[in-house]
Chain A
Amino acid sequence: MDTEDKDSELASPGAMFPDSSMSPLIFEEGVAVNGAEAAGQVQVLPGQRPQKSPTPLRDSLRRLRRDKRAMISLAIIVLFVLIPLFGPLIYQHIGGTYQSALNGRIGPAQYHNPFWQELTNQDQLPSSMYWLGTDAIGRDILARLMQGMLVSLAVVIMVEIIDIGLGVLVGVLAGFFGGWIDQLLARFTDLMFAFPGLLFAILLTSIFGNSADDAFSHIPIIGPNGNARLVLVSIALAITIWPLMARYVRGQTLQLKEQQFVEAARTAGTTNVRIMWRHIIPNLFSVVVVAATLDMSATIIGEAGLSFLGLGVQAPGSSIGLMISDASDAIAVHPWEVIVPSVALAVIVLAFSFLGDGLRDAFDPRSKD
């Protein structure tokens, strides 16, 4: 079942070898029971939609629900959001008190704190006290991991706000009006494609990193615990990512503005601004969602990569990339400390890119890959 599922998702436009042994579709309250085959059915007959499709959006969501890999990814992403937000609150109340040689009696609020160093408990393997063990200076790895996920989440949110905001604004204007905005966008995207994105982010964060530390470290929430550079990291990543979003939006806008409903709106005397706001932008939903999901995976990799190189989150703080970098020095002695953050990063990144692929297939079954 699993293999069939993957086949039908991944097959290219109008796959060469349509599976003729497909069982008929069974619809029940808008949800197909026979997932994989149904997805294949839609793709084998491009242009032909199932008869009972209330709206294109619900149709797409139904296709998405049938995509097992995308749904598992979605579940992982939900966990990726919930764990760093609520995990620490719970984790810091689990566990008994402990007689520390250095710190007296301490409870889970201390030793399950991502910044607490319990120097007598270095490099421990998982136990009932430290669920994922401790690192080289006796900090709880699970607590650090949750803090690192929180950092990833914060960066993703900041980057996506800029990415979607700028990408949609410039993309729609370029697609709708053409002319110099379009030229400028084209030149700018050319430039950003030639300039490997991460290289630019490395340059920006390395030059202004210390200034960002000075400027933001006194601001509550975002400043302390070595997180001051995250704003800079987010801006750097957003600058490298948004041109691609703008390109997708521009392409879609070019198609949309030739559609009859835009023509009709124009005939009715609708202003350009209103056409863009009411008729173009709502129709960009699927393009933006797909691009944003894939960008999120790139953003998480970017933040982890910059932190890995020592350009993101600074010393007392925690980031998945920083955890990998700290632990990679002793990879031969304590491989466990590297395995935990690397596997976590791999799972999160794969979940985002699988969900992105799934969304793309669901919104536009004809343009697979």
Chain B
Amino acid sequence: MVQFLIKRFIGLIFVVIGVTFITFILGYFAPGDPIRGMLGNHFIPSVYLSLKHSYGLDLPWYQQYWHFLTNLARFNFGLSFVTQNRPVWDILKDGVPVSAELGLWALTISVLVGVPVGIVSALKANTWVDTVNIGAMLVLYALPAFVLAIFAQLVIVWFDTSTGNTWPVSGWGNPWQYTLSDLQLKIVPILVLAATEAALYARLARNSMLEVLRQDYVRTARAKGMRERTVIYRHAFRNAMIPLITIFGLSIGLLVTGAFFVEQIFNIPGIAQVSITSINARDYPVMQATVVLLAIAVVIGNLIADILYSVADPRIKVA
């Protein structure tokens, strides 16, 4: 177990270094001189040099990368290019709780909906329930988040115009508060973001359950005369859940990319939206910080999945 953890941890460090290096080097080779851009028409050589120094851009690339890494370790993401002298973290920090809230609710709902749907589908395999479930899952899984989000908005618009209601199309209430108006704003984006995930979990839960139900120990349990409920919930369900852990990391990745579109479409002030704003302003440090933060979230998700997996199934020692 310890050996396994060490191995995974080394892998994690490699991935973090890789992600940060790619992010850094892309920013390093980014065309244009950000300091010149900042100065605009007021170009004074001494100011230029001192600014360049304060941003650390006069150093060779490996020293810049080292600074980038050590600063990251201290949660210091550097200074923004566009809003001058404002630390990147200052720009991002308001978005973090919003994105975390959106992501956590979406993840929770997708597991709570997806897994039962998949299990029911497996238990009723080849009936109309299963067919309907599978059809819905395939469609939800294949459709990109921004198409789902647009469809959801269309439904809201239609609902508003046909009933005279004023259900809001976009926006986000106060983070982690759930008054009626907050809920109205939050529920649709969360469901849209959860949809793809739920379909993923449901598909896997169904296949995993079908696989387990064919195993000898399930047949044995049935042969002993056990009640069907006990067979399913004691013997089959627990074992069927193990493979689901492996897609936890993948599902975090889906959440992160989905958030880019959901936050943009529903005008939610999370870090993905901040990142898109910074893309349009060509503010590379903000973008780099967002990418690194989100990639690290995915890496940690993968690590948690690995650990849970080895806990859930003691046969797995070293992946």
Q: A interface vs B, CB < 8 Å?
A: 3, 6-8, 10-17, 19, 187, 190-191, 193-200, 202-204, 206-208, 210-211, 297, 301, 304-305, 308-311, 321, 324, 328, 331-332, 335, 338-339, 342, 345-346, 349-350, 353-354, 357, 369
Query: Which of B105-113, B129-137, B222-230 lines the interface with chain A?
Result: B129-137
Contacts of A207 in B (CB 8 A): 26-27, 29-31, 284, 287
| Pair B157/A342 contact, Cβ less than 8 Å | no
Given A12-B210, A304-B144: A196 in contact with B257 (beta carbons within 8 A): yes
Contacts of B295 in A (CB 8 A): 194-196, 199
Selected from B126, B128, B160, B291, the residue in CB contact (under 8 A) with A203 is B291
Q: Do A328 and B31 have beta carbons less than 8 Å apart?
A: no
22 contacts between A and B (CB under 8 A): A12-B210, A15-B210, A16-B122, A17-B125, A187-B14, A194-B295, A195-B298, A196-B254, A196-B256, A196-B294, A199-B291, A199-B294, A206-B279, A210-B32, A305-B144, A309-B261, A310-B280, A324-B150, A331-B150, A331-B154, A331-B157, A342-B147
CB-CB contacts of B142-176 with A at 8 A, as 1s and 0s?
11101100110110011010000000010000000
Interface contact B207-A332, CB-CB below 8 Å: no
- Interface: B76 (CB within 8 A): no
B312 to chain A, nearest CB (A): 21
B206 touches A12 (CB 8 A): yes
Which residues of the partner chain B approach A342 to less than 8 Å between Cβ atoms? Answer: 147, 150-151
- For the complex, is B253 an interface residue (Cβ under 8 Å from A)? yes
Residues of A within 8 A of B141 (CB): 353
Q: Is the CB of B146 within 8 A of A305?
A: yes
CA distance A15 to B213 in the complex (A): 10
Q: Which of B19, B214, B249, B257 contacts A16 (CB 8 A)?
A: B214
Q: How far is it, in angstroms, between the C-alpha of A17 and the C-alpha of B134 when the chains are bound? A: 16
Q: How far is the CA of A181 from the CA of B257 in the complex (A)?
A: 30
A190 touches B150 (CB 8 A): no
Interchain CA distance A335-B128 in the complex, whole Å: 34
B142 touches A353 (CB 8 A): yes
Inside 8 A of B250's CB, which chain A residues have their CB? 193
Find chain A residues with CB under 8 A from B23 CB.
203
Give CA–CA (A257, B153) in the complex, Å: 52
B37-64 contact mask (Cβ, 8 Å, vs A): 1 or 0:
0000000000000000000000000000
B31 touches A208 (CB 8 A): yes
Q: Secondary structure at chain B's binding surface: helix, strand, loop or mixed? A: helix
Min distance, Cβ B197 to any Cβ of chain A, angstroms: 13
- Chain B residues near A6 (CB, 8 Å)? 131, 134-135
Given A196-B295, A199-B295, A202-B279, A335 contacting B154 (CB threshold 8 A)? yes
* Chain A residues closer than 8 Å to B143, beta-carbon distance: 346, 349-350
Contact present for A196 and B298 (CB under 8 Å): yes
B193 within 8 Å of A by Cβ?
A: no
B100: interface (CB < 8 Å):
no
Candidates B125, B158, B253, B298; contact of A11 at CB < 8 Å: B125
- 4 closest A-B pairs by beta carbon, nearest first, are A12-B210, A198-B257, A206-B279, A353-B142
Q: A16-B213, A350-B139 are in contact. Are A338 and B154 (CB under 8 A)?
A: yes
* CB-based contact B144/A194 at 8 Å: no
Report how far A332 CA is from B169 CA in the complex, Å: 9
Q: State which of A15, A195, A350 has its C-beta within 8 Å of the C-beta of B126.
A: A15
Shortest Cβ distance from residue B211 to the other chain A in the assembled complex, whole angstroms: 7
* Interface pair B279/A311, CB less than 8 Å apart: yes
Known: A12-B206, A207-B284. 11 other contacts (CB 8 A): A6-B134, A191-B15, A196-B294, A199-B291, A297-B142, A305-B261, A309-B260, A309-B264, A332-B169, A338-B154, A349-B147
Q: Cβ of B291: which chain A residues have Cβ within 8 Å of it?
A: 199-200, 202-203
Query: Is the C-beta of B265 less than 8 angstroms from some C-beta in chain A?
Result: yes
Contacts of B275 in A (CB 8 A): 202
Minimum CB–CB distance from A81 to chain B (whole Å) comes to 19
Could you tell me if A195 and B11 are in contact, using CB atoms closer than 8 angstroms?
Answer: no
Q: Is the CB of A7 within 8 A of B131?
A: yes
Could you tell me if A200 and B22 are in contact, using CB atoms closer than 8 angstroms?
A: yes
Chain A residues with Cβ below 8 Å from B131 are 3, 6-7, 10
| Chain B residues positioned under 8 Å from A304 (CB to CB) | 144, 146
Closest A residue to B145 using CB positions: A305
Within the complex, the shortest CB–CB distance from A43 to chain B, in Å, comes to: 12
- Choose from B19, B210, B256 the contact partner of A191 (Cβ within 8 Å): B19
Q: How far is the CA of A353 from the CA of B140 in the complex (A)?
A: 12
Report yes or no: B261 in contact with A308, Cβ–Cβ below 8 A.
yes
Residue among A6, A199, A339 with most chain B CB within 10 A? A199
Write the nearest CB–CB distance from B300 to chain A, whole angstroms: 10
- How far is the CB of A187 from the nearest CB of chain B, in Å? 7
Which residues of chain B are near A14, meaning CB under 8 Å? Answer: 214
Query: Which chain A residue lies CB-closest to B12?
Result: A194
Is there contact, CB below 8 Å, between A202 and B280?
A: no
**Complexed CA–CA distance, A87 and B263 (Å):** 35
Bound complex: CA A211 to CA B146 (Å): 27
